[in-house]
Amino acid sequence: MMKNLMLKILLLLFLSTNAFLAQEKVTLSGTISDSSSNETLIGVNIILPDLQTGTMTNEYGFYSITLPKGTYKIQISYLGFQSIVETINLNSDQTKNFKLNEAAESLDEVIIKQDVEKLNIKKPQMSVNALSINTIKQMPVVLGEVDVIKSITLLPGVTNAGEGSSGFNVRGGAADQNLILLDEATIFNSSHLFGFFSVFYPDAIKDIKLYKGGIPAKYGGRVSSVLDIYQKEGNSSSFHMNGGIGLISSRLLAEGPIKKDKGSFLFGGRSSYAHLFLPLFDLDNEAYFYDLNTKLSYRLNDKNSIFLSGYFGRDVFTIQDSFANTYGNSVVNFRWNHLFSDKLFSNLSLIYSDYYYGLDLNFVGFEWESGIRNFNLKYDFKHYISNNFKLEYGLNSIYYKFNPGEINPNTPDSGINPFKLIDKYAFENAVYIDAEHKLSDRLSLSYGARFSTFHRLGQNEQNIYANNNPVIFDEDTGTYLKAEPIGTETFDRSDVIASFANIEPRFALAYQLNDDSSIKASYNRMSQYLHLLSNTNSPTPLDVWTPSGEFVKPQLLDQVAIGYFRTFKDNRYSLEVESFYKTIQNRIDYIDGANLIANNAIEQVILNGEARAYGLEVLLRKNEGKLKGWLAYTLSKSEQRTPGRNSLESGINNGEWYSTPFDKTHDISLTASYELSKKWSFSSNFLFQTGLPVTFPNAQYEYNGIIVPSFEARNSSRLPSYHRLDLAVNYRPKPNSTKKFKSEWVFGIYNVYNRRNAASISFRENRMSGRNEAVRLAIFGAVPSVSYNFKF
């Protein structure tokens, strides 16, 4: 049966290729941009209803479609912009650029929505969520700070580790398994103020897309998801500014032409200032963050454009003169877009990314620094071979330097000796190819592969262990212990001390049941060569990244997903239902009592285990009308285990599966917005989530006068369920004003009914009664906010 199916697919490939060659074709290509700013637009729909076909613009606003000669009606559609309908006579190859006008608030364009949704249903891409920055800005947020990361946690399959926690979890994966890209540069820490806010400055963001499964072959290096974010290019028509003033922070962005209609600049900054009020309460402390975003764009000619973008962010936290903490990201990216022909588009990127963590402990007399730095070369091609067959291919090389930590005295008489953890180096390479193939009117495929290699380069010193085993098992106590090194080995930087190579196939298909529905399926394998060393529920700035090597194996993911997609009532409503199952090999686990801070032999406290996750996701959207929004529900399970390495070892948690720290059985979110008038609009979020897994003490005993607790199996209990309701009101004083200056007020309440959701539960002895008691820690109750936004 499988053989017959393969023969049928090969026959369809042959027939579709022959049909393409038999017809005389011409190519229509160009760019689509915003008429007011010349900003190129990503994901614009180009539809030819006569042929029941279409395409979309890529990350740089370019499109290409190959068609039989003839005269056709073409329809251009993009959310928030007025649609264009034109008749085009295609007798030869043509380059045609389109400029879209922003839709007036009174317009309700419905001309081509049905055709657009047909195109989306036909595409094999699945497990992808896109949010416009306008949608994100409408959501109620804590302390009035618009937050990209917290917004995507309202989507199915995406959660975080609770209030005040950094990072996010996708389909039961850990936070370090997410690849976060800002203009193609890797962001290693996406949070400000230890997780209260994200680093992404909303006014500078152009496009956001989250891949949870069926991930294209051009992405690699992480095993759970890809969050791909692009910054705006800047206005090349005229100078504009916009900003906002809030309770916690303010922001300002300026953009304008370098040369009208050819080049543009964008500069934006955001900073918090709550610490400025601390002296009023006689507190000599500081806790603030700031972001700087910039982008320069220039179109050299019709075939070449260059871009230079950057981001710099820092968090600063100090307690009087005794403690100071500074951390943040720095990225720079130079890109060159080149059009080889109307069918072949390329992008060359040179990227620098750096994450820095610094700690100054004056009260003990030393300072600590750590971080990770990389240099990245990417060259990507998109080849529009025909309307039914498109190829993406390219290469990627990354050089890493890991600084696990360095201690230096900060005063002459501190008594602290300088100490440097051993730097680590690595080189990661990949080549990929991905095809999107329309086999028939109903069946479309996406298939490809990524071949990745990882080389752990030489370092100054590496421990040698008996039997090459850095972790030993004590059969008498049933515990894992650190092995003592029997020597060390030194390498040159050019030496390769460990190498890995993996083929990562990707496959997806879409079968259209009718004009309004389709089923889709996908499979992808991915490799992750970097690991975040953290034994907390969510990443902290102090966590250290480490490369795969002799004792730390790369994580390998296999994920399958199947889904049903449907639209109702001419796309007024849409439904997405997906089920997934994934397994991960070589997931790091820690022995009991593992110390990860300033550990020069991290291999002594970690073991390689495995993880799995599976679940069902439902997303129901209302796309039109005054009331819009979505209901997202996820039913899932996320587990991991580390069995013994032989029959004598017990493994972690006796080798049994246990819930990961971010497992949530039920996750429900309801997001809604209502436009009462041009002046007033309202929005709300409601969330309900199963409590996070925790490990509680279940007994205690006394030894030499010391009370020693005994703990239950790992993560066998849970915190209470989490739920809250948020509300926001948006007020535009003069919505019909023809003046350039426009403004709005945003009022919000986070956690309206003051739910004291547990961030943790700790146990202690009550000094008055002498009995043990549980103490709940809650981060937020009800939090009101107000912010003022303007643009001109």
User: What is the C-alpha to C-alpha distance for residues 379 and 396, in angstroms, rounded to an integer?
Assistant: 7
pLDDT digits (tens, 9 = 90+) for 288-298: 889 999 999 99
Among 315, 316, 296, CA closest to 306: 296
| Confidence at residue 280, expressed as pLDDT on a 0 to 100 scale | 61
In the predicted model, what is the mean pLDDT of residues 328-346? 94
Among 146, 79, 154, 77, CA closest to 112: 77
CB atoms within 10 A of CB 557: 23
What's the mean pLDDT when you consider all of the chain? 86
- The residues near 39 (Cβ < 8 Å, ≥ 6 apart) are 33, 206, 232, 233, 234, 235
| Confidence at residue 283, expressed as pLDDT on a 0 to 100 scale | 62
CA distances from 415 to 324, 408, 410, 421 (A): 19, 10, 10, 19
Position 203 confidence tier, pLDDT thresholds 50, 70, 90: confident
Among 697, 720, 691, CA closest to 773: 697
Q: Token pair 């480490």 is at which residue?
A: 546
User: 517-528 and 555-568: which strand pairing?
Assistant: antiparallel
> Would the pLDDT of 112 be above 50?
no
| Confidence at residue 22, expressed as pLDDT on a 0 to 100 scale | 46
| Confidence at residue 519, expressed as pLDDT on a 0 to 100 scale | 94
pLDDT digits (tens, 9 = 90+) for 616-673: 999 999 888 889 889 999 999 999 999 988 888 888 888 899 999 889 999 999 999 8
Among 545, 632, 619, 649, CA closest to 588: 545
| Confidence at residue 104, expressed as pLDDT on a 0 to 100 scale | 58
Among 5, 19, 3, CA closest to 437: 19
Position 275 confidence tier, pLDDT thresholds 50, 70, 90: low
In the predicted model, what is the mean pLDDT of residues 551-563? 95
- The residues near 518 (Cβ < 8 Å, ≥ 6 apart) are 121, 122, 510, 511, 512, 564, 565, 566
* 82-96, 404-418, 622-636: least confident range: 404-418
* 57-66, 82-91, 277-286, 556-565: least confident range: 277-286
DSSP 468: G
In the predicted model, what is the mean pLDDT of residues 192-202? 81
- The residues near 576 (Cβ < 8 Å, ≥ 6 apart) are 156, 563, 564, 565, 617, 618, 619, 621
SS3 assignment, position 457: strand
Q: 3-state DSSP helix/strand/coil percent for the chain, to nearest 5? A: 10, 55, 35
CB-neighbour burial class of residue 493 (10 A; exposed 0-12, middle 13-18, buried 19+): exposed
In the predicted model, what is the mean pLDDT of residues 62-69? 88
> Would the pLDDT of 521 be above 90?
yes
CA distances from 654 to 97, 357, 473, 608, 617 (A): 64, 36, 13, 15, 32
Q: In percent, how much of the chain has pLDDT > 90?
A: 39
Torsion of CA 531, 606, 692, 727, to 10 degrees: -20
Torsion of CA 193, 196, 198, 204, to 10 degrees: -90
User: What is the C-alpha to C-alpha distance for residues 186 and 330, in angstroms, rounded to an integer?
Assistant: 10
Give the global pTM: 0.90
CA distances from 76 to 111, 209, 704 (A): 10, 21, 79
Q: In percent, how much of the chain has pLDDT > 70?
A: 92
In the predicted model, what is the mean pLDDT of residues 570-596? 88
CB atoms within 10 A of CB 407: 18
81 touches 102 (CB < 8 A)? yes
Which range, 149-153, 179-183, 513-517, has the best average confidence (pLDDT)? Answer: 179-183
| Confidence at residue 382, expressed as pLDDT on a 0 to 100 scale | 94
In the predicted model, what is the mean pLDDT of residues 117-121? 58
In the predicted model, what is the mean pLDDT of residues 585-603? 83
| Confidence at residue 535, expressed as pLDDT on a 0 to 100 scale | 67
pLDDT digits (tens, 9 = 90+) for 678-732: 889 999 999 999 999 988 887 777 777 677 777 788 888 898 999 999 999 989 8
User: What is the C-alpha to C-alpha distance for residues 230 and 335, in angstroms, rounded to an integer?
Assistant: 13
User: What is the C-alpha to C-alpha distance for residues 159 and 281, in angstroms, rounded to an integer?
Assistant: 36
- The residues near 70 (Cβ < 8 Å, ≥ 6 apart) are 89, 90
| Confidence at residue 1, expressed as pLDDT on a 0 to 100 scale | 46
For residue 735 the two structure tokens come to: 């919505």
Among 492, 504, 364, CA closest to 434: 504
Q: What is the radius of gyration, based on Cα positions, of the chain? A: 27
| Confidence at residue 106, expressed as pLDDT on a 0 to 100 scale | 39
What are the backbone angles phi and psi of residue 23, rounded to the nearest 5°? -100, 145
| Confidence at residue 10, expressed as pLDDT on a 0 to 100 scale | 47
In the predicted model, what is the mean pLDDT of residues 237-264? 91
Position 769 confidence tier, pLDDT thresholds 50, 70, 90: confident
In the predicted model, what is the mean pLDDT of residues 203-224? 92
Position 184 confidence tier, pLDDT thresholds 50, 70, 90: very high
SS3 assignment, position 11: helix
Position 211 confidence tier, pLDDT thresholds 50, 70, 90: very high
CA angle 207, 212, 214 (to 5 degrees): 105
Helices and strands in the chain, H and E counts: 4, 53
User: 128-130 and 205-211: which strand pairing?
Assistant: antiparallel
| Confidence at residue 332, expressed as pLDDT on a 0 to 100 scale | 96
